[in-house]
A and B are shown apart, each in its own frame.
Chain A
């Protein structure tokens, strides 16, 4: 276990360093300049130059990389060019929206998908299975932004059960906050749930074909008991993998949904920062997202070991 952990940790660190290189130098070659963006089309060249030096943009790329990277190691992500506030604080603010949204969506999708997948697996080939699988095929095929548009049309504009978007903030109380995240969470969750349900079902079916299920049945367990006691936990590994992937996706990939619901989340921050060429924000946030993904994968790997004793013994 210790060795497994250490090895994973090492590869995690190497990945992060390489990622920081890729991110920094890829982003730096994007044409466009934050200073001229901020000053608009009537600005005079000397004004732009003055702003560039004020922002520290006239330093060399390499020295900026070094100061960015070393800063990050100390938890300092730099100061946004356009917003002039510390990136760390901006990210923290946005995380208060993105993280709950991701968790909310993931919870929804898990709550929908696992029972649906288990139900379909237990009724393999019967009407219930076909219906659930048909629904998931549709769920996978629907683009989530389109789905979001339809949700807004129906539930916000016509029925007015939810507001069309925006985030009331946690200071308005957790219920109100969750209420304002509900439509986006649903828009995000349903396509994910469709995928997860399919994975759940096929993982379970794979397991149900295993010899040890037959052993369990020979002990006197009913089909259902065998599924719950012996099938589920074994089917959990592929399901956990997908949940991990989906969580990382939800954290960063909600850009379009954040746009549709004008939520002040991380995705939109990156989007805005890219168009404003607020490079340091882009770099730091992308780095953070990569870190989050790698970390989530790392944690998922560790949970594997919890689920599967075969992985505990390694090393």
Chain B
């Protein structure tokens, strides 16, 4: 276990815990407005202060963690769910039109400016968490397809694949039985990274008003709400900002740590 894995794991676990806890308990109802008590700095009653509607920021952060995690998780799920099979197929049929087609389509998706497309998607489908998921998920597909294909291609060169082919196993079966388990580590690592990018992307989309819609709290929207009030109530920007930073930091550290931990090549290479 590396230091970064532990630190990252602890940070991520804290965020996850806060999100889970919010299902059964938050200090206050995160939607309850109390306009006379608005913009309070952190104090004994509201540990992280209140927002411009007098809502309890701690409660909103906790429920917001749920939103961030859910959006990013499902988006990564979409990316993996579609990208990994595509990558496996491309690698299995290396050099074929299928491979070529998948890779070119990947390049094409990469070529589209992601934020512009996200904005377009929400212009077409309307703003909302689901559409944010779609927008983020779409751009996760080529990432996973590419990573999977790259790793799978080198695995296909290995002799144990040859052995499986000698046993008469087809490409699909080999991909499922031999390739997938051996790229799993890589996918887990990439998954954590995409997960953290998803959280950033959700925050960005919500910040421009295209992510989760009220009353569902979202860190990005909290930042958007806070933006005109930075000099008035800095905690409104600092608290969600730090929540995002710590979560992303935690996930990235965990991803790095996992990579070192899971990759035998680097094992022992640490001073």
Contact = CB atoms under 8 A, between A and B. Distances in A.
Is any CB of A less than 8 Å from a CB of B in the complex?
Answer: yes
Interface of A: 11, 14-15, 18-19, 22, 26-27, 29-32, 124-126, 137-138, 140-143, 145-146, 149, 153, 157, 248-249, 251-253, 255-256, 259, 267, 270-271, 274-275, 282, 286, 289-290, 293-294, 297
Contact of A143 (B119, B241, B270): B241
Interface string B180-193: 00000000000000
A18 B107 CA distance: 12
B113 A252 contact: yes
B204 interface: yes
B111 A294 contact: yes
Interface stretch (B17-25, B52-60, B72-80, B248-256): B248-256
14 contacts: A14-B104, A31-B124, A140-B248, A141-B246, A143-B223, A143-B241, A146-B241, A149-B223, A251-B113, A253-B113, A274-B116, A286-B112, A290-B112, A294-B107
B249 A15 contact: no
Given A143-B204, A286-B116, 11 more contacts: A14-B104, A15-B108, A27-B120, A141-B249, A145-B223, A253-B115, A267-B116, A286-B120, A290-B113, A294-B111, A297-B107
A270 B237 contact: no
A289 B116 contact: yes
Contact of B113 (A11, A153, A286, A297): A286
3 shortest A-B CB distances, which residue pairs? A252-B113, A125-B271, A141-B248
Interface residues of B, number: 37
A153 B230 contact: yes
A282 B120 contact: yes
Interface in B235-271: 237, 241, 244-249, 252-253, 256, 270-271
Contact of A125 (B114, B230, B231, B270): B270
A200 to B, nearest CB: 16
B252 A140 contact: yes
B120 A274 contact: yes
A149 B112 CA distance: 27
B97 to A, nearest CB: 13
Contacts of B196: 141
Given A259-B208, A293-B110, A137 B104 contact: no
Contacts of B256: 137
Given A29-B124, A141-B196, A293 B113 contact: yes
Interface string B133-146: 00000000000000
B225 to A, nearest CB: 12
A70 B151 CA distance: 42
Nearest to A270: B116
B12 to A, nearest CB: 12
B208 A256 contact: yes
Interface of A is mostly: helix
Given A30-B123, A145-B207, A297-B111, A11 B271 contact: no
Contacts of B200: 141, 143
Contacts of B241: 142-143, 146
Given A30-B120, A252-B115, A256-B204, A143 B108 contact: no
A36 to B, nearest CB: 15
Contacts of A145: 204, 207, 223
A19 B107 CA distance: 11
B227 interface: yes
A45 B204 CA distance: 38
B143 to A, nearest CB: 12
A213 to B, nearest CB: 15
A82 B242 CA distance: 40
B203 interface: yes
Given A145-B207, A153-B230, A26 B120 contact: yes
Contacts of A294: 107, 111
Interface in B64-121: 104, 107-108, 110-116, 119-120
Contact of A157 (B107, B115, B231, B253): B231
Given A15-B107, A125-B271, A289-B113, A138 B120 contact: no
Given A18-B108, A26-B124, A274-B123, A253 B114 contact: yes
A96 B173 CA distance: 54
Contacts of A289: 112-113, 116
Contacts of A290: 111-113
Nearest to A138: B249
Contact of B223 (A18, A141, A146): A146
Contact of B244 (A30, A146, A274): A146
B227 A19 contact: no
Given A125-B270, A153-B230, A290-B111, A274 B119 contact: yes
Contact of B111 (A15, A142, A253): A15
A30 B124 contact: yes
Interface centre among A255, A267, A297 (most CB of B within 10 A): A255
